[in-house]
């Protein structure tokens, strides 16, 4: 009955929104048109639906997240946004996930010294393993390290991350994936990474990564993969020094459950005969963290108004604008799933794009943890691309100042979906609500039950939404597509992608 009520409510909300007007060929006065079209009432209606208690926090794999996907797709259709290529006219790009319950036993032995589950070691990928024999230490596990070592049929031991980059998010999301692929390619039977990131408390890491994990189903083929705490044990020191040893690795009791999800994708074709072949991807994740019952906590629903119903509404309002006012470039409107469990929706999209990556000239993501400064918009990575002046102009037009990441130590760039586009070489940045610090004001709502629509400042948010829409208008009309600034770490990948 609850699902039926939600479905009916969605239809009423959609029907009650501002009626679609006949589409002009282009905006007459973009600032005036955006101001007229993007209103507090409409934004609040969308947010009220997406972050309601009945949506139960939009957890990955939940029926409520499917309702949210249908709600987004229904609005796309009403606004004249067409289904993206490859979605069979449904707006949906399907994904398959696996939810893995960790092993009940892990024993890792190096030269007769044993390391135990949670206390010393956790599993972060792959299935059960029961292996014994040779161990090989490969340093930081670069391709050159693997090429110099004989790992076939052996347990591979490496350090986390890279020698010059103590970034835990990159170590986990990027470097670990690469090392696992190399282990499989060179014939290793399992991979153990020793935490080499200074100042990272092991117990917190073990609690975070060692619980039930959700991943893309394709990862079932990964080599069994473990992280262990940095250890001064004699056996580990000897392994690092000599590069080889004997030992064993056993992990048993893993349970796997499979389920489905979807990205929601629509397109508006550009009006320019040449530039319409270039796409701006306008993205936001629409999932959150669901329901969590904790001791002495009355409210168990994590509504996710700030993270990321706000971003979803920003993307949706942009879809409505382009549905009415198509611009020179084409746009792909993309609601991404499973961001909260590892940027999985964008990871899948980046590897299975609905429009060719070579034709994707920019990704402007909308995602944030909340806000504690209503005079600014925080644009993560703004300074890295040539779109910086356009972003500043758009924010200024609606009374905001565009500012760069104030907390680089939080690795925010790598923690949002824009990162998976950037890794492919596509200039990609994130438009977040005004953040001056990760302080108590922000953390009161970030991934907390208090993050409800009733706590939002809509006088601020309407400026934020309009600035986001206007920036996308400018990106779609720039004579030359924005690029990475010279020397950016992703510039080399961009040259490979675009052939420039």
Q: How far is it, in rounded angstroms, from Cα 237 to Cα 234?
A: 5
Q: How far is it, in rounded angstroms, from Cα 379 to Cα 436?
A: 12
Range list for CATH 3.40.630.10 in the chain:
13-97+260-498
Q: How far is it, in rounded angstroms, from Cα 493 to Cα 66?
A: 34
Answer for the pair 171, 160: CB distance below 8 angstroms, yes or no.
yes
Instruction: Report residue 428 CA to chain centroid gap.
Output: 12
Instruction: Output the six-digit token pair for 472.
Output: 């996308």
Range list for CATH 3.50.30.30 in the chain:
103-253
30, 349, 417, 482 from 278: Cα distances, Å: 21, 17, 20, 11
- pLDDT tens by residue, the chain, 500 residues: 455 445 544 544 444 444 444 455 555 799 999 999 999 999 999 999 999 999 999 999 999 999 999 999 999 999 999 999 999 999 999 999 999 898 999 999 999 999 999 899 999 988 899 999 999 999 999 999 999 999 999 999 999 999 887 778 788 878 898 999 999 999 999 999 999 888 778 888 888 788 888 989 865 568 999 999 998 899 999 999 999 999 999 999 989 899 999 999 999 999 999 999 999 999 999 999 999 988 777 889 999 999 999 999 999 999 999 999 999 999 999 999 999 999 999 999 999 999 999 999 999 999 999 999 999 999 999 999 999 999 999 999 999 999 999 998 888 999 999 999 999 999 999 999 999 998 999 999 999 999 999 999 999 999 999 999 999 999 999 999 999 999 999 999 999 999 97
Question: Does 103-253 carry CATH code 3.50.30.30?
Answer: yes
The fold of 13-97+260-498 is Aminopeptidase (3.40.630)
Q: What are phi and psi of 56, to 5 degrees?
A: 50, 40
Answer for the pair 224, 66: CB distance below 8 angstroms, yes or no.
no
Answer for the pair 416, 429: CB distance below 8 angstroms, yes or no.
no
């Amino acid at each position: 009955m609850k699902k039926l009520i939600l479905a009916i409510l969605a239809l009423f909300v959609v029907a009650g929104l501002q009626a679609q007007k006949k589409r002009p060929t282009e905006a007459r006065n973009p600032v005036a048109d955006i101001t007229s079209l993007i209103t507090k009432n409409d934004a609040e209606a969308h947010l009220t639906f997406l972050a309601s208690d009945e949506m139960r926090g939009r957890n990955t794999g939940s029926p409520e997240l499917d309702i949210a996907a249908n709600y987004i797709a229904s609005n796309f259709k009403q606004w004249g946004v067409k289904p993206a290529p490859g979605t069979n006219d449904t707006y949906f790009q399907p994904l398959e996930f696996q939810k893995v319950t960790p092993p009940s036993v892990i024993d890792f032995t190096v030269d007769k010294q044993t390391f135990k589950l949670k206390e010393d070691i956790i599993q972060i990928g792959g299935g059960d393993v029961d292996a014994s024999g040779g161990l090989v230490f490969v340093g930081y596990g670069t391709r050159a390290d693997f090429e110099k070592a004989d790992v076939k049929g052996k347990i591979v031991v490496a350090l986390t991350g890279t020698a010059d980059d103590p970034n835990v998010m990159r170590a986990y999301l990027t470097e670990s994936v690469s090392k696992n692929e190399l282990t499989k390619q060179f014939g290793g039977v399992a991979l153990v990474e020793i935490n080499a990131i200074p100042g990272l408390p092991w117990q917190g890491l073990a609690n975070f990564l060692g619980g039930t994990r959700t991943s893309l189903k394709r990862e079932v083929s990964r080599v069994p993969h473990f992280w262990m705490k940095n250890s001064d044990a004699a056996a580990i020191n000897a392994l690092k020094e000599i590069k080889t040893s004997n030992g064993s690795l056993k992990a048993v009791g893993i349970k796997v459950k499979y389920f489905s999800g979807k990205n929601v994708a629509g397109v508006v074709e550009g009006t320019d005969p040449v530039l319409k072949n270039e796409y701006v991807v306008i993205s936001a994740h629409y999932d959150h963290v669901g329901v969590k019952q904790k001791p002495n906590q009355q409210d168990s629903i994590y509504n996710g108004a700030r993270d990321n119903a706000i971003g979803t509404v920003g993307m949706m309002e942009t879809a409505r604008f382009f549905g009415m006012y198509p611009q020179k470039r084409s746009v792909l409107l993309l609601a991404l799933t499973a961001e909260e469990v590892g940027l999985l929706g964008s990871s899948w999209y980046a590897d299975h794009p609905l429009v060719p990556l070579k034709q994707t000239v920019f990704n402007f993501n909308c995602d944030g943890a909340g806000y504690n400064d209503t005079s600014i918009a925080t644009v993560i990575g703004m300074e890295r691309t040539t779109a910086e002046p356009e972003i500043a102009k758009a924010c200024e037009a609606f009374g905001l100042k565009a500012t760069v990441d104030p907390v680089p130590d939080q690795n925010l760039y790598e923690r949002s979906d824009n990162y998976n586009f950037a890794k492919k070489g596509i200039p990609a940045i994130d438009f977040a609500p005004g953040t001056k610090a990760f302080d108590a004001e922000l953390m009161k709502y970030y991934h907390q039950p208090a993050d409800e629509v009733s706590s939002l400042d809509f006088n601020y948010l309407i400026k934020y939404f309009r600035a986001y829409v206007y920036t996308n208008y400018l990106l779609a009309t720039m004579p030359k597509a924005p690029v990475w600034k010279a020397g950016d770490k992703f510039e080399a990948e961009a040259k490979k992608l675009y052939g420039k």
